[in-house]
Amino acid sequence: MLTCRNATRLMSENQDRKLTLAERLSLQMHLLFCAGCRNFDAQMRALRRLLRGYARGENEPGESPDAKHGGN
């Protein structure tokens, strides 16, 4: 079974490359039993989603459409 250190490494690597079947299965098994790593995975996914939105020029939550253009 993976350690948390190896699981978080695989979660990070999954952002840059497709994991092998063995890596995906090991990671999924680890996530079934480790709440801390599930939390880390959820945070990484949320951060990636926010960064993609920011790159597309979407507003931050609660920000008015005029705010990003300096309007009032």
71 within domain boundaries: no
How high is the pLDDT of residue 52? Answer: 87
20 within domain boundaries: yes
Whole-prediction pTM value? 0.70
Domain count along the chain:
1
How high is the pLDDT of residue 58? Answer: 72
How high is the pLDDT of residue 8? Answer: 97
16 within domain boundaries: yes
Domain range for 28 is 4-56
How high is the pLDDT of residue 25? Answer: 97
28 within domain boundaries: yes
Measure the CA–CA gap between 15 and 49, rounded to whole angstroms: 12
**Mean pLDDT by groups of 10 residues along the chain of 72 residues:** 95 94 97 97 92 79 55 51
How high is the pLDDT of residue 56? Answer: 82
Looking at residue 15, what DSSP letter applies?
T
**Which is nearest to 31 in space by CA: 66, 69, 63, 2?**
2
69 within domain boundaries: no
70 within domain boundaries: no
61 within domain boundaries: no
34 within domain boundaries: yes
